[in-house]
Structure 1
Amino acid sequence: MKKIVQVSAIDMTMNNFLAPLNKASKESGFEVHTACSPGNYVDEIKKDGLIFHDIKIDRKISPLSNLKSIYKLYTLFKAINPDIVHVHTPVAAVLGRIAAKLARVPTIIYTAHGFYFHDDMNEKDYKFYFNIEKYMGRYFTDFIFTQSIEDHEIAKSNNFLKNKSNHIHISNGIDLDKKFNYESLSPKVREDIRNLHSISEEDIVVTFIGRLVEEKGILDFLESIELLGSNNIKYIIIGSLPPGERDTETFNKLKNFEDNPNVIFTGQIENVNEYLYASDVFCLPSYREGMPRSIIEAMSMKNAVLATNIRGSREEVVKNETGFLFEINDSQAIASYIDKLNSDRALLTKMQENGYERAHKLYNEKDVVEKQLEIFNLVTNK
């Protein structure tokens, strides 16, 4: 049987983002192994019929720990003898590719969910991370899957791979047929969630989804609530701090907002689709993204979108059509756009409908998975 090993830093990524690809790979005839740090999702991964391997992978550069991870991954790859190793997330992608190369894995694939270097970095840091990506691409990678067009063009124009044709733009997608099917949900879902949190129908709900860390812009978002001219706005914060996350300082600062009656923290939840159905506007003030799934999820549930003008986000959001774009660290812009949408409900509705159409036109998960399976089958059927 053909074998593939999927590598990510944490099990949340493996379960929440890679499950559709992993399940489709299994159905396509692959023996699917997963390697990552264990957390709350191990049982879910195993329920999907996948083989789970407990490999601790730090999410930061830590030489001793990183070397241990490389050795454990190398040992695992030698034991499994996979046809493909497919890596994800910045640090895990580097360690996994080094281990796979040492183990002589026939095909090494890297999905760039968002190159770590970005426009807001100083020149020194940008060059450092850019060169890591380029070096790892040229000497430790056979295929690069990029989700954003900008990442695809950067990788291809800078020859991240020796074979230019192996740069594959796969985009990103969500399950529009089941979980994020707007038409399948009842208006009572919206009513129940709003009643649960004492939100009236006249209130505008603005939702954030993501890791509660600085680079996601969570503090910029929360600070904008003090700058609003409107008094009928509720913020819903969906997300948590994953195990092993470096940025704990930001998480501690969130306590300053816990007593605000207009801010609701849900933690990590399973019914994100229902909360987005009950929401009006989605805000992602992130500093770095690949091709954010959360924006697509929000559009599929008819939310207008506010997002930073960065790679990935500006590809998904059509300025003034499906939402607004603003610069990093601009709480005032967030507040101003929320006030604008609150005062102009016709514009809000127009953006919600436009986003819904865009999600269905461009971001179907089935198409994204199929593109990847085509490459998997191509390299294993030689």
Structure 2
Amino acid sequence: MKKILYITTLSRTINAFLIPHIEKLKSEGNLVDCACSIDEEIDKNLTDLGVRFFHIPFTRNPINPINFKAFKGLIRIQAEFQYDIVHVHTPIAALYGRLLKLKFPELKTIYTVHGFHFYKGAPIVNWGIYYPIERIMAHYTDTIITMNIEDYERAQKFKVKETHKINGVGVDLSSYNINLFDKDETRRKLNLKKDDFVIIMIAEVNKNKNHKQMIDAVDELKQRGINVKVICAGDGPLIEELKQDIASRNLDKNITMLGSRNDINELITASDIGILMSYREGLPRNIMELMACGKPVIGTNIRGIRDLIDDGLTGFLVNVNDSVDTAVKIEGLFKDRRLIKTMGINSYESVKNYELDKVIESLVEVYV
């Protein structure tokens, strides 16, 4: 039995991605606890398994004094419970969690990278701040787990004992069965017509997710006489600004901002294709969800997205901010429904490599 402490900045990360991983480790007879800033209710499945949660008041600002208080909390927890392994996720938690090695040198540290902040095409400031931090923190890291090829190749250059590439956090294919919902009924509830061409974008409404490229592409298509419908699931700081932009272009009937939703599977069922226009990703779960439902995806040609989308086979890749090519790719699928079906089949076959059980088995091997 190993004693393992999961450390994340916020508890929502555990609820969203890590529950099956922890459940697997518990089933193998390990003791697993979690330390994080508890920003939402803890999943009952974990507490029923005896997983203890320690409230550590992290903030996302790396130099905020509150984080030094959080670090002292981690030291107290480690001193009391003597974990064999700490598994850190998210940048702030990863920084302070690995620094535990300063006081507990025998502690094994595992760091899952959900996407380095330095990447090809990243702002120079990102390279100036985050790259030196990771170079230094590599000395306090025993194992790095990456999720895409670019991060894996970068991590191999750090002085870390072990570097792995695992296919993300995994997706439970059985949870994304489109046959569970009636497509026409779902469309009716969304005020969509049976013969509408529907695109879904699942993303937090922030600058990084780049909804503007999608809006520009829809505007371009409308000027050509092609009317598509886009449903956007997600909330965020830019949602009101984007609603105003959509209204100012008279695209209200084309693009609907749904806000935060808990019926993503059903929304995907109502859609023909998916789209994601991000500037930066690690390995986007939302694309895997779309592929698990047999949907082609149009995405920007960036790290993480190009790991998932096989251009021309499971969807299309477009350059960041190239709304004209994005419109061209949408039009191509709009005019060829057989291509949508073929790409959808290819998507489902491809995403099997990211199936949850396979990912968890790969993860368990890291602990050996």
TM-score between both structures, scaled by the size of structure 1: 0.87
Pick closer, same or farther for the CA change 1:61–1:159 going to 2, 3 Å.
closer
| Counterpart position of 1:245 | none
Pair 1:170-2:170 in alignment? no
Q: Distance in 2 between matches of 1:200 and 1:38?
A: 42
Percentage of pairs with the same residue = 32
The Cα of 1:323 is off from its aligned counterpart by 0.9
**1:183-206: CA deviations, max 9, x gaps?**
xx2452x22221110111211221
* SS of structure 2 residue aligned to 1:328: coil
Q: Which of residues 198, 206, 215 is equivalent to 1:205?
A: 198
| Counterpart position of 1:130 | 131
AA of the residue aligned to 1:365? L
Pair 1:227-2:216 in alignment? no
Pick closer, same or farther for the CA change 1:327–1:252 going to 2, 3 Å.
same
Give the conservation status (yes or no) of the 8 Å contact 2:239–2:257: no
The Cα of 1:299 is off from its aligned counterpart by 0.8
Q: Distance in 1 between matches of 2:39 and 2:246?
A: 26
Q: Distance in 2 between matches of 1:77 and 1:221?
A: 47
| Counterpart position of 2:145 | 145
| Counterpart position of 2:207 | 214
Q: Distance in 2 between matches of 1:11 and 1:267?
A: 21
The Cα of 1:173 is off from its aligned counterpart by 5.2
| Counterpart position of 2:302 | 310
The Cα of 1:304 is off from its aligned counterpart by 0.9
Structure 1 residue runs of 4+, over 4 Å off? 43-48
Structure 1, gaps ≥5 residues long: 242-247
TM-score between both structures, scaled by the size of structure 2: 0.90
Give the conservation status (yes or no) of the 8 Å contact 1:172–1:368: yes
What root-mean-square deviation, in Å, do the aligned CA atoms of Structure 1 and Structure 2 show? 2.2
Give the conservation status (yes or no) of the 8 Å contact 2:171–2:288: no
Give the conservation status (yes or no) of the 8 Å contact 2:9–2:36: yes
Give the conservation status (yes or no) of the 8 Å contact 1:84–1:105: no
| Counterpart position of 1:77 | 78
Q: Which moved more, 1:190-199 or 1:269-278?
A: 269-278
The Cα of 1:208 is off from its aligned counterpart by 1.4
Give the conservation status (yes or no) of the 8 Å contact 2:38–2:55: yes
| Counterpart position of 1:94 | 95
Q: Which of residues 175, 178, 192 is equivalent to 1:179?
A: 175
Q: Distance in 1 between matches of 2:201 and 2:168?
A: 19
Pick closer, same or farther for the CA change 1:53–1:12 going to 2, 3 Å.
same
Pick closer, same or farther for the CA change 1:98–1:270 going to 2, 3 Å.
same
- After superposition, where does 1:201-280 map in structure 2 within 5 Å? 201-229=194-222, 231-241=226-236, 248=237, 250-256=238-244, 260-280=252-272
Pair 1:11-2:7 in alignment? no
Give the conservation status (yes or no) of the 8 Å contact 2:17–2:169: no
Q: Which of residues 288, 293, 298 is equivalent to 1:301?
A: 293
* SS of structure 1 residue aligned to 2:198: strand
Give the conservation status (yes or no) of the 8 Å contact 2:202–2:234: yes
* SS of structure 2 residue aligned to 1:207: strand
The Cα of 1:307 is off from its aligned counterpart by 0.9
AA of the residue aligned to 1:363? Y
Q: Distance in 1 between matches of 2:203 and 2:81?
A: 34
**1:239-291: CA deviations, max 9, x gaps?**
234xxxxxx4x344234257523323333333322222222111111111111
**1:73-107: CA deviations, max 9, x gaps?**
22222222211111111222112211354344621
* SS of structure 2 residue aligned to 1:202: coil
Pick closer, same or farther for the CA change 1:365–1:87 going to 2, 3 Å.
same
Pick closer, same or farther for the CA change 1:46–1:365 going to 2, 3 Å.
closer
The Cα of 1:62 is off from its aligned counterpart by 3.2
Q: Distance in 2 between matches of 1:105 and 1:77?
A: 12
Pick closer, same or farther for the CA change 1:51–1:349 going to 2, 3 Å.
same
AA of the residue aligned to 1:317? I
- Name the count of aligned residue pairs: 361
| Counterpart position of 1:58 | 59
* SS of structure 1 residue aligned to 2:208: helix
Q: Distance in 2 between matches of 1:44 and 1:210?
A: 26
| Counterpart position of 1:244 | none
**1:220-257: CA deviations, max 9, x gaps?**
3234332223544221212234xxxxxx4x34423425
Q: Distance in 2 between matches of 1:219 and 1:41?
A: 33
